[in-house]
């Protein structure tokens, strides 16, 4: 059966997450406008930095729960990488839709709002109520599938 557009782009986000080098969670993101892919991303360290699967996870070592103390992570989230990748190529995200395999955290939410992304579609929840509140307050449509 032919997938809906949401199913199609979410499937691509699920393929993107396979590139993740995070030892805790693999996340993929795709940003789309007018049914065309603008950018993709997955969670992992900045370019040229050793991957967490090589040097270990600081958050695991410190027993930091999911959704807390994001600043103690070597990696960027999939949504952040997708936004940065678009910026590196001069691609505006205004009016776009972000598909993510996981609900955005508060850090990603702030970037999503300022990037002009109008809708977020995600699969799995994430323990970050503030991100949901801010997305709603910013008028960004949110859909879990």
CATH (domain of 30): 3.40.140.10
State yes or no: 22 annotated in a binding site: no
Characterize 58-90 residue by residue with b for buried, 16 or more Cβ atoms within 10 angstroms of its Cβ, and e for exposed: ebeeeebeeeeebeebbbbbbbbbbbebbeeee
State yes or no: 73 annotated in a binding site: no
pLDDT digits (tens, 9 = 90+) for 82-121: 999 999 999 999 999 999 999 999 999 999 999 999 999 9
Positions marked active-site: 79
Q: Which pLDDT score, from 0 to 100, does residue 94 have?
A: 98
Local structure of residue 141 (DSSP, 8 states): E
Residue numbers of the domain that contains 30? 5-144
pLDDT digits (tens, 9 = 90+) for 49-83: 998 888 988 888 899 988 888 888 889 999 999 99
What domain count does the chain have? 1
- 24 contact partners, CB below 8 Å, separation of at least 6: 57, 59, 60, 66
Q: What is the largest CA-CA distance in the chain?
A: 46
State yes or no: 77 annotated in a binding site: yes
């Amino acid at each position: 059966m032919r997938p809906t557009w949401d199913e199609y782009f979410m499937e691509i986000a699920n393929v993107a997450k396979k590139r993740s080098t995070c030892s805790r969670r693999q996340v993929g993101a795709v940003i789309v406008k007018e049914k065309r892919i603008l950018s993709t991303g997955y969670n992992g360290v900045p370019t040229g930095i050793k991957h967490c699967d090589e040097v270990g996870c600081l958050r695991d070592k410190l027993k930091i729960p999911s959704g807390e103390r994001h600043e103690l992570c070597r990696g960027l989230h999939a949504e952040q990488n997708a936004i940065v990748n678009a910026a590196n190529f001069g691609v505006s995200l205004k009016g776009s839709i972000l598909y993510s395999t996981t609900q955005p955290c508060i850090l990603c939410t702030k970037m999503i709002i300022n990037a002009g992304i109008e809708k977020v579609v995600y699969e799995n929840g994430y323990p970050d109520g503030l991100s949901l509140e801010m997305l709603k307050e910013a008028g960004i449509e949110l859909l879990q599938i």
